[in-house]
Structure 1
């Protein structure tokens, strides 16, 4: 997202006083080490200028702001057990409604045990508690690396950085990538491998329901669901440290997700917001539930019926926040295209075919901005 600094717009007395305390002399190399490292090196009583958004991009809490809803949003809840039961037809309709109206839903009774869920959040947090030298082993600008630790949204291109550090790991095939994963904490590989396997299995069942809900189930020898078995899976562990001035910055800017579906696990700290009816609304966490959202590829495949929705992440003044996103799509070398069964005279093909190399080429030459990659795939607006 293209941000411009308008520091003169910081006008409140408290913020003006903090301006004097800002660490204006922080070297660029220090920012590249991540937000947590900045926080650990000294008591930050003000957000450094590098993280301050333009006034129009800041997460307003004012009830007078027409772009902010006055209450949190309770997303549609899909019961995974019901999806597999005799009420499947009704659940598929609820699934379709959620994907058309919200682009998001919360999944309960998903069969991933509470212990696995808690262990994943725990080990993710403990990775970022490691000494910086341990985390630095995995810091690289190579977007194709099997393991990549970094900061912000795109630390080399963002005009303004985000209050976020991340660890991205390729997960499928597991036997190929697990040897590249961190060995610290000691239980990291074991916990992450278990969670990766279970989210992969869960994704396959949900995606089968998605395809069925679209009415495009194909013959077994030509079934897209079968292709997902060897599809791509990337896990992203996000750390959002406590922030002294959360009203000036964001953990992640407005964006949509690349891929078919994202399965998000979050701790109890609120932070995720989605754009619903042109307003930013906070998603209420449900203990042990997964937040599922439509990605750009599913919007393309569904010819725009299911929408990948803009979402962003707020930060917290008093608490850090950990989330784990599992992003799933077709294999990296496959082409994503609109389902032929969703194209007719009344509904012409709305998106160009695309693949992962096209996406990498795009994001390597431009600063991320909302849904700009997906927009670049549209045949007409």
Structure 2
């Protein structure tokens, strides 16, 4: 995936620009920012977003060059989805929503709603920058979905905010960074907190990363699990869905956890 991503971003701009779109619901979108119509400052990156729902419908819209991009992404998306489901099962068990599958298979219906969930693959390229202190590869934000599985190359750049300071996540060969997203914070009624993160750039090396973003199906309502709400733990978030998120993103600049903050109940 890292190799085919590099070769896509090495294509002439005329080839890459065929996939530019201002439509956030497009099955393929090449660009530089979250919302190029509203963002006041563009990020120092190129990105290619590929919707994976359903693969049979979106595949014809994906770039046909490099020639091995489509099969590589299909294979990668299927395997990252399997990993996502394994992690989600563990998360649901940790919340007490699922019992241990070895104990009672009949009580695990809660996992099934995630099996047909949404998936978006994002290829990121952060070119080397002549003045890296004056810009960011990606400004501070949290991911909107349930979980994000991030594959990094060997170049540092990703930082998470921890206890009020920015901490660099050093790339480990053969590993994924797993980010908690806004939907999981809402679903867990705040038991899990979405991760505020950003990306730095440097003057020496280009950085490549591949993010696989996962959540519930696009048409689903995301809400705190009723099993996690009682008198001692009242509901902390409004119901939401992908339409609300896309409308929010299309209408304003996305900063930090602004969408999640709009979902909180006072």
Match for residue 212 of structure 2 among 306, 312, 326: 326
- Partner Cα separation in structure 2 for residue 252 and residue 185 of structure 1: 25
For residue 373 of structure 1, report the CA deviation from its aligned partner: 0.5
RMSD (Å), alpha carbons: 1.3
For residue 159 of structure 1, report the CA deviation from its aligned partner: 1.3
The one-character-per-residue Cα deviations of 1:128-168 (angstroms, maximum 9, x if unpaired) are: 10111111111010001000001133222121111011000
Q: Any conservation in 1 of the 2:223–2:237 contact (CA below 8 Å)?
A: yes
- Partner Cα separation in structure 1 for residue 88 and residue 248 of structure 2: 27
* Partner in structure 1 of residue 28 of structure 2: 147
1:175 aligns with 2:26: no
For residue 178 of structure 1, report the CA deviation from its aligned partner: 1.5
Q: Any conservation in 1 of the 2:160–2:168 contact (CA below 8 Å)?
A: yes
Match for residue 77 of structure 2 among 183, 191, 196: 196
1:159 aligns with 2:45: no
TM-score (norm 1): 0.67
SS at match of 1:226: helix
* Partner in structure 1 of residue 126 of structure 2: 240
The one-character-per-residue Cα deviations of 1:78-110 (angstroms, maximum 9, x if unpaired) are: xxxxxxxxxxxxxxxxxxxxxxxxxxxxxxxxx
For residue 316 of structure 1, report the CA deviation from its aligned partner: 1.2
Q: Any conservation in 1 of the 2:223–2:240 contact (CA below 8 Å)?
A: yes
Q: Any conservation in 2 of the 1:172–1:230 contact (CA below 8 Å)?
A: no
- Name whichever of 175-184 and 188-197 sits farther off: 175-184
The one-character-per-residue Cα deviations of 1:146-205 (angstroms, maximum 9, x if unpaired) are: 000011332221211110110000013222222211110011111111101100111111
SS at match of 1:335: coil
1:124 aligns with 2:10: no
Unaligned runs of 5+ in 2: 100-104
Q: Any conservation in 1 of the 2:97–2:110 contact (CA below 8 Å)?
A: no
How many residues of Structure 1 are paired with residues of Structure 2 in the alignment? Answer: 261
- Partner Cα separation in structure 1 for residue 230 and residue 48 of structure 2: 42
For residue 255 of structure 1, report the CA deviation from its aligned partner: 0.1
For residue 226 of structure 1, report the CA deviation from its aligned partner: 0.6
Map 1:1-381 onto structure 2 (within 5 A).
120-217=1-98, 220=106, 223-380=109-266
SS at match of 2:112: helix
Unaligned runs of 5+ in 1: 1-119
The one-character-per-residue Cα deviations of 1:341-361 (angstroms, maximum 9, x if unpaired) are: 111111100000100111111
Larger Rg: 1
Q: Any conservation in 2 of the 1:271–1:313 contact (CA below 8 Å)?
A: yes
- Partner Cα separation in structure 1 for residue 15 and residue 106 of structure 2: 46
The one-character-per-residue Cα deviations of 1:5-61 (angstroms, maximum 9, x if unpaired) are: xxxxxxxxxxxxxxxxxxxxxxxxxxxxxxxxxxxxxxxxxxxxxxxxxxxxxxxxx
- Name whichever of 293-302 and 158-167 sits farther off: 158-167
Q: Any conservation in 2 of the 1:136–1:149 contact (CA below 8 Å)?
A: yes
Q: Any conservation in 2 of the 1:173–1:230 contact (CA below 8 Å)?
A: no
TM-score (norm 2): 0.95
- Partner Cα separation in structure 1 for residue 119 and residue 106 of structure 2: 23
